[in-house]
Amino acid sequence: MTARSIRGVAATAMAGVLAAGAVACAAPGGGREGGAGDSLVVGLANEPETLSPLLGYGKDGNSKIFDGLLRRDAGMKLRPALAAELPKVTDDGRTYTYKLRQGVKFSDGEPFTARDVVFTYRTILDEKTNNAAKGELDAIDEVTAQGDDTVVFALKYPYAPFAERTVLPIAPEHAAKGQDVNTGSFNTAPIGTGPYVLTGWSKGEKLTFKANPGYWGGEPKVKKLTMAIIKDDDVRATRLRSGDLDGAVLPPNLVKGFKGDKDKVTLTARTTDFRGVTLPTAGKVTGDPAVRRALDLAVDRAAMVDKLLEGAGRAGYGPVPTDSEWFAEGTERPHDLEKAQRLLDDAGWRPAAGGVREKDGQRASFTLWFPAGDKLREEHALAFASDAKKAGIEVKVQSGTWEVIEPRMKDDAVLAGGGNPADPDFDLYNLLHSSLALDGFNNMAAYASPDVDKALEEGRRSGDKSARKAAYDKVQQGLADNPGYVFLTDVDHLYVVNDAWQDLTTQVEPHDHGLGAGPWWNVEDWQPAK
């Protein structure tokens, strides 16, 4: 090759680039009209790892490609989906019987039967299946089909919220069987009974769906649905503004930029997405009940909601948000710095050098970890530390990955987050039951209180709602008396959407919010605005 031919190559490359540029000018992309059409493009921050329900996709319902036996409506009440009606509960809450809807077909034309339900649950519970959420189905002892249209779940113990777990999507046995469940083609080419059919998944970029014409609930009006995966908040806001997206999830500070836009509406989803500080029972400082109560009173939750969340959230006093029907009225703990200081004085924590209290030579000081890169948790941690300092307790804020944090959870505090709105049992039991202390990420604070344990068991076993309410009131009162965690806020999820559809709603959302949450939780029911 000579210098001359190098020039030739360069010239060809340049010509190619120019040609690409010319095409770009001829067909400027991205400029879609904002009006209601039959297509919808939404921007999300997180991409699912898999689309197989067998590996945990859509376990909380609203999976679009699939249906569960049950689903939740806008008020989070359970409604029949693939089941014809709500389950019959017999045998003291140990047996759940589901009658199935007739005439439902998977999108490949095969009929849906009880065998598919049994296959789905048995596969998830199989030891070889790498489903990290299978612990949620721990109560199941056996699942069996009776004929084509009845499924019976036998439980190991009476479990009141079990029906909430059966929103889990059902996979077709004929399509998902006979391949490696962990890596097989069903993970990326799913077939379900749901309102939409996957037409493409360009990983890291987007998922595209078309309406399922044979959907048992009627063909959706929004015929084409695209979920664009855009991790960066600013890029998502930019692409929403440029018209590339019809709607997106955004943090509060970026939502402000859309306030004056007449063509867009902002929707605020209430959540059970809490942020709180674990107070490890084994810690010399955090284990002292007086310190726990003082911290619980010293934090200014209202200021956090105002400053950190820009008003998009509420003060939280436990995993049950204050506007939930399960919230124990009267357990709110308003900001009271003086009382916090008095508690510490009475318990023998005396002010010492540097404004940090001491008791028997022990400085009132502990470390608080937050997962690196999570800005919201970082801000919460710093605000918590600054409030604690006013009461004379030093909180050293540190960041790290979960791998760094986890071995230290026993002694150090962690800025935790979580929340599942479906049933109080889901959060309360895992966070507070002493048998789950430091079991994986359950009960990170190693909280242990015999009374709370007893109330948690009553709440999960009793089928009677008022008995359950009384039990969960007891749990929340126990948490107020001896806070093993300082719950700070419940974080609203904000969405900006083109104002082109009627009556958009949101559900109460969990901590995770992927494809199924947001205003598009029921996109199959959307109607164009008049």
First to last CA, the chain: 67
423 DSSP 8-state letter = -
379 HSE (CA, 13 A, CB side): 13
CB of 13 to another protein, least distance (A): 4
CA distance 273 to 321: 9
CA-closest candidate to residue 186, choices 84, 279, 53, 89: 53
Of 245 and 494, nearer to another protein (C-beta) is: 245
Neighbours of 101 (CB within 10 A): 19
- Per CB under 8 A, the list member of 74, 132, 282, 529 interacting with another protein is 132
Residue 123 sits in the site that holds another protein (CB under 8 A)? no
Stretch that binds another protein, among 109-117, 185-193, 382-390, 461-469 (CB under 8 A): 185-193
Using CB under 8 A as the binding rule, whether residue 453 contacts another protein is answered as no
Residue 378 beta carbon to another protein: minimum distance, rounded to whole angstroms: 18
Residue from 31, 260, 330, 361 touching another protein (CB under 8 A): that is 31
Question: Rounded to the nearest whole angstrom, what is the least distance from the CB of residue 135 to another protein in the complex?
Answer: 5
Query: Where does this chain touch another protein (CB under 8 A) — which range of 49-57, 273-281, 300-308, 389-397?
Result: 49-57
Using the contact rule CB under 8 A, the part of the chain among 63-71, 86-94, 238-246, 305-313 near another protein is 238-246
Smallest separation (angstroms) from another protein to the CB of 382: 22
Nearest alpha carbon to residue 508 among 498, 500, 518: 518
Burial class (CB in 10 A: 0-12, 13-18, 19+), 224: middle
Q: Binding to another protein by residue 224, rule CB under 8 A? A: yes
Please calculate the CA angle 368-441-391 and round it to the nearest 5 degrees: 25
CA distances from 329 to 297, 317, 318, 474 (A): 17, 11, 12, 11
Total residues at interface with another protein (CB under 8 A)? 81
Residue 81 near residue 168 (C-beta atoms within 8 A): no
Centre a 10 Å sphere on the Cβ of residue 28 and count the other Cβ atoms it contains: 7
The answer to the question of residue 188 lying near another protein (CB under 8 A) is yes
- Of residues 36, 44, 53, 55, which one binds another protein by CB under 8 A? 55
Which residues in the 61-120 window bind another protein by CB under 8 A? none
Q: Is 399 in the site for another protein (CB under 8 A)?
A: no
Residues of this chain, 241-280, that bind another protein according to CB under 8 A = 241-242, 244-245
- The stretch among 7-15, 102-110, 333-341, 353-361 that binds another protein (CB under 8 A) is 7-15
What is the smallest separation between the CB atom of 359 and another protein, expressed in angstroms? Answer: 34
Q: What is the CA radius of gyration of the chain?
A: 26
Nearest approach, Cβ of 196 to another protein (angstroms)? 13
**Candidate ranges 3-11, 69-77, 332-340, 448-456; the one touching another protein (CB under 8 A):** 3-11
Q: How far is CA 281 from CA 287, 434, 449, in A?
A: 4, 11, 11
Q: Smallest distance from the beta carbon of 23 to another protein, in angstroms? A: 4
User: 23 or 353, CB closer to another protein?
Assistant: 23
Contact positions with another protein (CB under 8 A) in 476-505: none
Q: How far apart are the C-alpha atoms of 280 and 367, rounded to whole Å?
A: 11
Tokens 């916090």, located at residue: 340
- Based on the shown chain and the rule CB under 8 A, indicate whether residue 373 belongs to the binding site for another protein: no
